[in-house]
C-alpha cells in the first residue's frame, strides 16, 4: 500500500456554522475545499457545536482543533483530524480524527495520525501525544499500533463511555 500524504485545511467558525446549517456549498467555499456529507452528519454536528463554543472561550485554540484532512496530491477531502485543544499544562495534546466511510481501510487514518504526530513534534510546547480509544474500537486500536503509544490508563467519557488512554512522547 502506498503511503498516503495528508494536508490539513483549517475550518473557521464560519465554516462550522455553515456545516451546522447543512450548507456544504457555503462551508466548502469558506474552507476552500469540497467538504463531504461526513461533515454534516449528527456526530460531526455535535463536534461543530462543541468547537464553536470552545473558540468563543479560547480563540487561540483555532490553530489546534479539528481541520479537514485532504489527501495529496489528489486534493480530495477524506476526513478530518486535529487535537482536542492546545497543549495542557503538562505539554499534552490529544489527537482526534475521523475518516469518511468511502475512504476507510485505505491507510488514511494512519496518514492522519502520522501528520498529527509530525506536527506535535514540531511544536515546542508539546511533550506528549494522547489518544483515547474505546476498548471495543478495534480499528482505532490497530491504527495506533506501531506509533509508539503506551497504555496510560482509562477514563470515562460522558459522550463515548469507557476509553483507554494511550500516550507517547514526542
pLDDT one-digit tens code per residue, 48-98: 999 999 999 999 999 999 999 999 999 999 999 999 999 999 999 999 999
- Pairwise CA distance, residues 126 & 112, whole Å: 18
Between the CA of residue 21 and those of 37, 85, 141, 148, what are the distances in Å? 12, 24, 33, 40
pLDDT band, residue 160 (cuts 50/70/90): confident
pLDDT one-digit tens code per residue, 17-42: 999 999 999 999 999 999 999 999 98
> How many other C-beta atoms can be found within 10 angstroms of the C-beta atom of residue 68?
27
Our count of domains for the chain comes to: 1
> For the CA atoms of the chain, what is the radius of gyration?
15
Q: Are 132 and 155 in contact (CB under 8 A)?
A: yes
Q: Over range 114-123, report the average pLDDT.
A: 96
pLDDT at 1: 53
User: Which cell numbers in the block locate residue 164?
Assistant: 483507554
CATH of the domain at 63: 3.40.630.30
pLDDT one-digit tens code per residue, 36-51: 999 999 889 999 999 9
**2 pLDDT above the threshold of 70:** no
Tell me what percent of the residues of the chain surpass a pLDDT of 90: 92
DSSP state of 105: T
Q: Are 96 and 43 in contact (CB under 8 A)?
A: no
Residue 59, domain extent: 5-169
Amino acid at each position: 500500500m502506498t503511503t498516503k500524504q495528508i494536508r490539513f485545511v483549517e475550518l473557521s467558525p464560519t465554516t462550522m456554522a455553515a456545516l451546522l446549517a447543512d450548507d456544504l456549498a457555503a462551508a466548502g467555499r469558506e474552507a476552500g475545499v469540497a467538504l463531504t456529507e461526513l461533515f454534516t452528519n449528527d456526530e460531526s454536528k455535535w463536534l461543530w457545536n462543541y468547537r464553536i463554543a470552545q473558540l468563543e472561550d479560547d480563540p487561540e485554540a483555532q490553530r489546534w482543533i479539528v481541520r479537514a484532512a485532504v489527501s495529496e496530491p489528489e486534493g480530495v477531502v477524506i476526513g478530518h483530524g486535529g487535537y482536542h485543544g492546545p497543549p495542557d499544562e503538562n505539554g499534552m495534546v490529544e489527537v482526534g480524527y475521523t475518516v469518511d466511510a468511502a475512504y476507510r481501510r485505505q491507510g488514511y487514518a494512519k496518514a492522519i495520525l502520522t501528520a498529527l504526530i509530525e506536527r506535535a513534534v514540531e511544536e515546542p510546547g508539546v511533550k506528549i501525544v494522547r489518544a483515547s480509544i474505546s476498548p471495543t474500537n478495534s480499528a482505532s486500536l490497530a491504527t495506533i499500533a506501531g506509533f509508539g503509544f503506551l497504555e496510560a490508563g482509562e477514563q470515562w467519557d460522558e459522550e463515548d463511555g469507557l476509553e483507554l488512554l494511550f500516550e507517547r512522547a514526542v
